[in-house]
């Protein structure tokens, strides 16, 4: 019974974790998650009930709220039994009061329309609501706090205040733990800790404490150390390597070592029983839920990922401790390493077979990185293609179980550093695995999951691992993960970081996150099952295998192996070759002979559609330089529309890039494209070209440098919020440039814009050289509006519309379309414009149209553009909103 409850609580933990963590540590979470579920499943694997459980767990999450509810009941129940028998039984009702809440949220989830965020909110609400009422609740909260504190003080002795009733008056956890979203997480962790305590009759906190105690083992200064620095980190890792996997991992061992805990360790068998007990419940629930939830499969991949960290949390009170101020500092620092480097490190570790290798790897890695940082290629080097260095070979297959357990957390450990701002490139590998597993319900699918990396091992594991291995598995990742947690910077809630969201589009703004999530659900199955996706996964896993070069059984299936993968490996091996020649990893990436790795095109066709490369370029489809030159001419003389030209130019640019051609032709292509983009008003494309051109000019390649300096200046004015950009562009101008007509013009425009001199501006507008006009077009509306605003405030009583039309050059735009009298036309256009902007016009005694400045000064506004705004959501046009509010 106890054990059953314990299980429940664990799941509860899952749920709560899901809810809270989701909002905080998403990128990390994904990384952790996979390892965790492995752990979970391993735990029970000897009973061959893996899938039901995992299934169950997944489902569990989906229906979070509903189950949560029951969990809580169990929990309170349990609580009473175990520690606080004195609590009155009306705990129950209090928890039930939250039922409504939870059901709501559950329904919300099942309709799939609400993101987890909401759930989270509901839960917080639930907590705050129930806390004052229920005698039990505050207690939980308080204890959680105290636990946190005990850890904080952690380097010395380890008191376990969790067992003592907390001071009744302690403030709610929300306040204490400050700004981060973590508190609720913390609380839940503790909740779980308690039950397990009871279950062992002794041990729950032991479990936890045990880990707390270990902290100092691995971290010299758990509280003080700020996690980012790489070396430090590595050291810790080293320690872990040397110790954790080797240690008899059950908690029993550690407790006597370092704890003053009143408890003894959980007997191994205890834990085992727990896992046994879980099993019967699983299928039941699984079937239950499967019926009710049409979107199970969709969500499962997510939930899979999301739920796993729950395990970690049991053992890790540490992260909660961090003060928000520290977080700040960490947040600053954590971006220190490029994500690609981290991925690289993971790769190196993923091929380690035993501790010896790992520590060897560790050492070499350290060397490589220090080397790289020493010669400052750390950020410049392309770690994604950096070949792995050779490792001493290993003979220990039997260690693979360990490997299985520990290498995984290791990589997650590595991943910790990843800041949420960084792209998730390499993480995909991990992201996608669960999505495979999740939608299949049979054992084979698990194999499939493993198949992407370690199918063989998992089987081995199953057969070899006997009695107490479950415990080993259970504890060892915890240790590792613990350390990770200890270092993991606390993240702010960020729903969009959920794996789904990442897959759907990285830079989605906050407002997009909801959409992203829902979108993901609907597409997740399709995505996970699509052959394309499978191939991508295989491709990625193959990369590991090839590079490892050792006996991981490749379980790859499907016919698509040949294509991109082989190209990749070919190039990778070319590089390894190059590396080996150079005596290991000592040479910097700049020294690699890139020419040997560069594609030489053979294609003779002039026209080619642009397609973004998803694999290594195929020389047969890449055009030679001569052909590209013709292609450029073709585009220049073509009479087709911009979209066609843009497409062609992009493909030319691509072919130039993959062949690493950087010469006059390249400059010409970019210049042509930039000009066309300007004419067509395609700013994003223009900016791309412009930034490339800047680099090309800097390399000393001839071109229309001045013309583009002028554009650059005008762009800098356009983005007027950054005065510094403007300043630096101006500082960079050479004297020669300042004499250039176009640059002079641009500078004059700048001055006119900054002083608001509309007369000057529109004169310059009329006399603009090159395509300066096109860029100036972007200010025209703003300048006109400012001008009219200015006039209506300073002129009294009226301003003739004819004057406005003349000064603000209204005649110009129309004259190109209409061949009528320019002045008149301008007048009409000006009148329309003024009326559209809320100006009040009157006719004076001479029949001349006048702007009534006094009335107009308060009625002017910028009308919303008739065309939809670019981002498709008119409500986001804050500027307009503000202007009108004024």
Partner 1 sequence: MALHLSMGEAHRRIAEYLARFSDAVSSQDGSALKSLIFVSSNSFYLLALADALNVFQDSSRLVNQTDKYSQLGEILIPYFRCLQSIRIGRFVDAYVAFEKAANAFLQEFRNWETGWAMEAMHTVALEIRVLAERADRELASSGKNPEKLQGAGSFLMKVFGALAGKGPKRVGALYVTCQLFKIYFKLGTVHLCRSVIRSIETARIFDFEEFPTRDKVTYMYYTGRLEVFNENFLAADQKLMYALMHCNPRSKDNIRMILKYLIPVKLSIGILPKMELLEKYNLPEYMDVVNALKRGDLRLLRGALRDYEDRFLRSGVYLVLEKLELQVYQRLVKKIYIIQKQKDPSKAHQVKLEVIVKALKWLEMDMDVDEVECIMAILIYKNLIKGYFAHKSKVVVLSKQDPFPRLNGKPVNS
Q: Identify which of residues 384 and 725 has a Cβ nearer to partner 1 in the complex.
A: 725
- Minimum distance, C-beta of residue 380 to partner 1, in the bound complex (Å): 8
Q: Identify which of residues 321 and 547 has a Cβ nearer to partner 1 in the complex.
A: 321
- Minimum distance, C-beta of residue 698 to partner 1, in the bound complex (Å): 11
Question: What is the rounded distance in angstroms from the CA atom of residue 520 to the CA atom of residue 526?
Answer: 10
The angle subtended at Cα 19 by Cα 18 and Cα 22, nearest 5°, is 70
Question: What is the rounded distance in angstroms from the CA atom of residue 782 to the CA atom of residue 804?
Answer: 15
Taking CB under 8 A as the binding criterion, the range among 367-375, 474-482, 571-579, 603-611 that sits at the site for partner 1 is: 367-375
- Minimum distance, C-beta of residue 349 to partner 1, in the bound complex (Å): 22
Question: What is the rounded distance in angstroms from the CA atom of residue 278 to the CA atom of residue 613?
Answer: 48
* Binding mask of the shown chain, residues 596 to 635, with x at each position contacting partner 1 by CB under 8 A: ----------------------------------------
Residues 753-792 that bind partner 1 (CB under 8 A): 754-760, 789-791
Taking CB under 8 A as the binding criterion, the range among 630-638, 667-675, 800-808, 862-870 that sits at the site for partner 1 is: 800-808
Residues 44-103 that bind partner 1 (CB under 8 A): none
Compute how many other C-beta atoms are within 10 angstroms of the C-beta atom of residue 594: 11
- Minimum distance, C-beta of residue 326 to partner 1, in the bound complex (Å): 6
Question: What is the rounded distance in angstroms from the CA atom of residue 535 to the CA atom of residue 130?
Answer: 50
- Minimum distance, C-beta of residue 250 to partner 1, in the bound complex (Å): 31
- Binding residue for partner 1, selected from 269, 324, 586, 602, defined by CB under 8 A: 324
Query: Is 331 among the residues that bind partner 1 (CB under 8 A)?
Result: yes
Q: Identify which of residues 683 and 730 has a Cβ nearer to partner 1 in the complex.
A: 730
Residues 637-696 that bind partner 1 (CB under 8 A): none
* Binding mask of the shown chain, residues 176 to 215, with x at each position contacting partner 1 by CB under 8 A: ----------------------------------------
- Minimum distance, C-beta of residue 405 to partner 1, in the bound complex (Å): 29
Question: What is the rounded distance in angstroms from the CA atom of residue 674 to the CA atom of residue 306?
Answer: 45
- Binding residue for partner 1, selected from 284, 363, 600, 796, defined by CB under 8 A: 796
Residue in 651, 575, 578, 641 with CA at minimum distance from that of residue 612: 651
Contact between 716 and 725 under an 8 Å Cβ cutoff? The reply is yes
Residues 217-276 that bind partner 1 (CB under 8 A): 220-221, 223-226, 228-229, 231-232
Q: Identify which of residues 74 and 337 has a Cβ nearer to partner 1 in the complex.
A: 337
Q: Identify which of residues 229 and 392 has a Cβ nearer to partner 1 in the complex.
A: 229
Tokens of 472: 């080993």
Q: Identify which of residues 132 and 797 has a Cβ nearer to partner 1 in the complex.
A: 797
Q: Identify which of residues 555 and 854 has a Cβ nearer to partner 1 in the complex.
A: 854
- Binding residue for partner 1, selected from 99, 187, 190, 330, defined by CB under 8 A: 330
Burial pattern 769-808, b for ≥16 Cβ within 10 A else e, equals: bbbbbbbbeebbeebbbebbbebbeebeebbbbbebbbbb
- Minimum distance, C-beta of residue 748 to partner 1, in the bound complex (Å): 12
Residue in 607, 704, 603, 598 with CA at minimum distance from that of residue 649: 607
Q: Identify which of residues 637 and 731 has a Cβ nearer to partner 1 in the complex.
A: 731
Q: Identify which of residues 89 and 507 has a Cβ nearer to partner 1 in the complex.
A: 507
- Binding residue for partner 1, selected from 478, 798, 811, 856, defined by CB under 8 A: 798
- Minimum distance, C-beta of residue 730 to partner 1, in the bound complex (Å): 6
- Minimum distance, C-beta of residue 330 to partner 1, in the bound complex (Å): 7
Question: What is the rounded distance in angstroms from the CA atom of residue 31 to the CA atom of residue 481?
Answer: 11
Residues 368-397 that bind partner 1 (CB under 8 A): 370, 373-376, 378-380
Q: Which helix (H) or strand (E) holds 435?
A: helix 427-439
Q: Identify which of residues 95 and 219 has a Cβ nearer to partner 1 in the complex.
A: 219
Taking CB under 8 A as the binding criterion, the range among 328-336, 491-499, 525-533, 773-781 that sits at the site for partner 1 is: 328-336
Q: Identify which of residues 757 and 815 has a Cβ nearer to partner 1 in the complex.
A: 757
- Minimum distance, C-beta of residue 596 to partner 1, in the bound complex (Å): 23
Q: Which helix (H) or strand (E) holds 499?
A: helix 499-504
Q: Identify which of residues 267 and 800 has a Cβ nearer to partner 1 in the complex.
A: 800
Q: Which residue has the tokens 């397609």?
A: 611
- Minimum distance, C-beta of residue 794 to partner 1, in the bound complex (Å): 4
Question: What is the rounded distance in angstroms from the CA atom of residue 710 to the CA atom of residue 129?
Answer: 62
Q: Identify which of residues 618 and 786 has a Cβ nearer to partner 1 in the complex.
A: 786
Contact between 708 and 674 under an 8 Å Cβ cutoff? The reply is yes
In Å, how far are 142, 225, 318, 366 from 149, measured between CA atoms?
Answer: 11, 16, 9, 34
Tokens of 700: 């000393």
- Minimum distance, C-beta of residue 795 to partner 1, in the bound complex (Å): 5
Q: Which helix (H) or strand (E) holds 852?
A: strand 849-852
* Binding mask of the shown chain, residues 714 to 743, with x at each position contacting partner 1 by CB under 8 A: ---------xx-xxx-xx------------
Residue 683's φ and ψ, nearest 5 degrees, are -65, -45
Residues 806-835 that bind partner 1 (CB under 8 A): 807
Count CA within 13 A, CB hemisphere, residue 878: 0
Q: Which residue has the tokens 């701002």?
A: 421
Q: Identify which of residues 375 and 384 has a Cβ nearer to partner 1 in the complex.
A: 375
- Minimum distance, C-beta of residue 259 to partner 1, in the bound complex (Å): 23
Question: What is the rounded distance in angstroms from the CA atom of residue 542 to the CA atom of residue 561?
Answer: 9
Q: Identify which of residues 363 and 570 has a Cβ nearer to partner 1 in the complex.
A: 363
Count CA within 13 A, CB hemisphere, residue 324: 11
How many residues touch partner 1 under the rule CB under 8 A: the total is 57
* Binding mask of the shown chain, residues 489 to 508, with x at each position contacting partner 1 by CB under 8 A: --------------------
Q: Identify which of residues 139 and 745 has a Cβ nearer to partner 1 in the complex.
A: 745
Residue 842's φ and ψ, nearest 5 degrees, are -130, 165
Q: Identify which of residues 324 and 663 has a Cβ nearer to partner 1 in the complex.
A: 324
The angle subtended at Cα 418 by Cα 416 and Cα 424, nearest 5°, is 120
Compute how many other C-beta atoms are within 10 angstroms of the C-beta atom of residue 175: 9
Question: What is the rounded distance in angstroms from the CA atom of residue 803 to the CA atom of residue 217?
Answer: 81
- Minimum distance, C-beta of residue 834 to partner 1, in the bound complex (Å): 15
Q: Which helix (H) or strand (E) holds 842?
A: strand 841-843
Q: Identify which of residues 155 and 281 has a Cβ nearer to partner 1 in the complex.
A: 155
- Binding residue for partner 1, selected from 1, 332, 398, 425, defined by CB under 8 A: 332
235: left (phi over 0), alpha (psi -120 to 50) or beta: alpha
Question: What is the rounded distance in angstroms from the CA atom of residue 41 to the CA atom of residue 275?
Answer: 10
Compute how many other C-beta atoms are within 10 angstroms of the C-beta atom of residue 847: 6
Taking CB under 8 A as the binding criterion, the range among 471-479, 492-500, 696-704, 794-802 that sits at the site for partner 1 is: 794-802
Task: List all residues 6 or more positions away from 838 whose beta carbon is below 8 Å from its beta carbon.
Answer: 856, 859, 860, 861, 863
Task: List all residues 6 or more positions away from 438 whose beta carbon is below 8 Å from its beta carbon.
Answer: 54, 58, 297, 300, 301, 303, 304, 528
- Binding residue for partner 1, selected from 325, 550, 551, 598, defined by CB under 8 A: 325
Tokens of 814: 């129309």
Count CA within 13 A, CB hemisphere, residue 201: 4
Residue 390 class from Cβ within 10 Å (0-12 exposed, 13-18 middle, 19+ buried)?
A: middle
Q: Give me the residues that bind partner 1 (CB under 8 A), please.
A: 220-221, 223-226, 228-229, 231-232, 323-326, 328-333, 336, 370, 373-376, 378-380, 723-724, 726-728, 730-731, 751, 754-760, 789-791, 793-800, 803, 807
């Amino acid at each position: 019974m106890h054990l059953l409850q314990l299980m429940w609580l664990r799941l509860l933990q899952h749920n709560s974790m899901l809810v809270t963590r989701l909002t905080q540590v998403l990128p990390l979470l994904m990384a952790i998650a996979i390892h965790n579920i492995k752990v979970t499943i391993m735990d029970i694997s000897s009973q061959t009930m893996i899938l039901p459980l995992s299934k169950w767990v997944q489902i569990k999450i989906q229906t979070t709220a509903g189950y949560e509810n029951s969990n809580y009941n169990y929990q309170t129940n349990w609580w009473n039994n175990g520690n606080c028998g004195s609590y009155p039984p009306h705990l129950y009702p209090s928890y039930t009061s939250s039922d409504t809440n939870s059901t709501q949220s559950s329904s919300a989830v099942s309709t799939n329309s609400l993101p987890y965020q909401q759930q989270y909110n509901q839960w917080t609400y639930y907590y705050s609501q129930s806390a004052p009422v229920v005698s039990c609740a505050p207690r939980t909260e308080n204890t959680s706090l105290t636990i946190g504190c005990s850890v904080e003080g952690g380097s010395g002795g380890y008191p376990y205040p969790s067992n003592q009733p907390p001071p009744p008056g302690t403030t709610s956890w929300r306040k204490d733990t400050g700004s981060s979203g973590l508190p609720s997480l913390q609380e839940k962790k503790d909740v779980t800790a308690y039950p397990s305590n009871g279950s062992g009759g002794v041990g729950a906190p032991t479990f936890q404490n045990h880990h707390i105690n270990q902290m100092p083992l691995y971290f010299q200064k758990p509280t003080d150390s700020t996690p980012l620095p790489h070396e430090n980190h590595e050291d810790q890792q080293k320690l872990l390597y040397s110790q954790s996997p080797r240690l008899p991992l059950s908690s029993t061992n550690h407790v006597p070592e370092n704890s003053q805990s009143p408890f003894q360790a959980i007997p191994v068998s205890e834990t085992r029983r727990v896992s046994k007990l879980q099993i019967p419940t699983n299928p039941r629930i699984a079937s239950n839920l499967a019926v009710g939830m049409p979107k199970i499969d969709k969500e499962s991949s997510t939930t899979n990922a999301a739920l796993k960290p729950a395990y970690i949390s049991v053992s890790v009170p540490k992260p909660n401790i961090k003060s928000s101020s520290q977080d700040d500092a960490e947040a600053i620092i954590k971006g220190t390493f490029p994500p690609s480097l981290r991925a690289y490190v993971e790769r190196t570790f993923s091929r380690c077979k035993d501790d010896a290798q790992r520590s060897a790897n560790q050492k070499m890695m350290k060397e490589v990185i220090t080397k790289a940082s020493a010669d400052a290629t750390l950020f410049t080097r392309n770690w994604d293609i950096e070949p792995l260095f050779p490792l001493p070979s290993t003979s220990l297959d039997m260690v693979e179980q360990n490997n299985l357990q520990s290498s995984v957390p290791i990589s997650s450990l590595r991943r910790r550093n990843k800041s949420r701002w960084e792209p998730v490139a390499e993480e995909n590998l991990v992201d996608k695995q669960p999505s495979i597993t999740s939608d299949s319900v049979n054992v084979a699918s698990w194999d499939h999951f493993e198949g992407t990396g370690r199918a063989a091992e998992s089987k081995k594991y199953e057969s070899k691992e006997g009695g107490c291995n479950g415990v080993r598995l259970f504890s060892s990742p915890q240790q590792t993960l613990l350390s990770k947690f200890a270092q993991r910077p606390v993240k702010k809630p960020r729903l969009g970081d959920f794996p789904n969201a990442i897959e759907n589009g990285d830079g989605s703004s906050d407002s997009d996150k909801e959409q992203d999530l829902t979108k993901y659900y609907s597409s997740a199955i399709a995505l996970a099952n699509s052959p394309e996706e499978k191939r991508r996964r295989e491709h990625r896993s193959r990369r590991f295998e090839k590079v490892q070069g050792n006996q991981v059984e490749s379980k790859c299936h499907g016919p698509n192996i040949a294509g991109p993968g082989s190209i990749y490996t070919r190039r990778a091996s070319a590089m390894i070759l190059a590396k080996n020649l150079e005596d290991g990893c000592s040479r910097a990436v700049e020294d690699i002979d890139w020419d040997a790795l560069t594609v030489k095109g053979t294609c003779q066709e002039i026209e080619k559609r642009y397609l973004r490369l998803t694999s290594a370029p195929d020389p047969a489809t890449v055009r030679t330089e001569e052909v590209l030159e013709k292609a450029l001419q073709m585009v220049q003389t073509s009479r087709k529309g911009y979209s066609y030209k843009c497409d062609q130019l992009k493909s030319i640019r691509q072919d130039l890039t993959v062949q690493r051609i950087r010469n006059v032709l390249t400059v010409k292509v970019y210049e042509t494209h930039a000009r066309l983009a300007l004419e067509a008003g395609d700013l994003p494309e223009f900016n791309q070209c412009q930034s490339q051109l800047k680099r090309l000019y800097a390399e000393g390649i001839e071109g229309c440098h001045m013309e583009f300096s002028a554009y650059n200046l005008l762009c800098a004015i356009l983005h007027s919020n950054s005065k510094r950009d403007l300043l630096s562009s101006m500082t960079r101008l050479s004297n020669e440039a300042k004499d250039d007509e176009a640059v002079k013009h641009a500078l004059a425009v700048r001055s006119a814009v900054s002083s608001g001199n509309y007369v000057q501006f529109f004169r310059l507008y009329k006399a603009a050289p090159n395509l300066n006009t096109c860029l100036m077009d972007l200010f025209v509306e703003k300048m006109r509006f400012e001008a009219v605003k200015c006039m209506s405030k300073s002129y009294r009583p009226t301003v003739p519309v004819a004057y406005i039309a003349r000064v603000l050059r209204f005649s110009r735009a129309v004259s190109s379309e209409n061949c009528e009298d320019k002045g008149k036309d301008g007048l009409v256009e000006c009148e329309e414009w003024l009326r559209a902007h809320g100006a009040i016009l009157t006719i004076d005694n001479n029949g001349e149209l006048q702007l009534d400045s006094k009335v107009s000064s308060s009625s002017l506004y910028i009308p919303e553009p008739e065309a939809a705004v670019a981002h498709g959501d008119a409500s986001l046009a804050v500027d307009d909103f503000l202007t009108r509010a004024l």
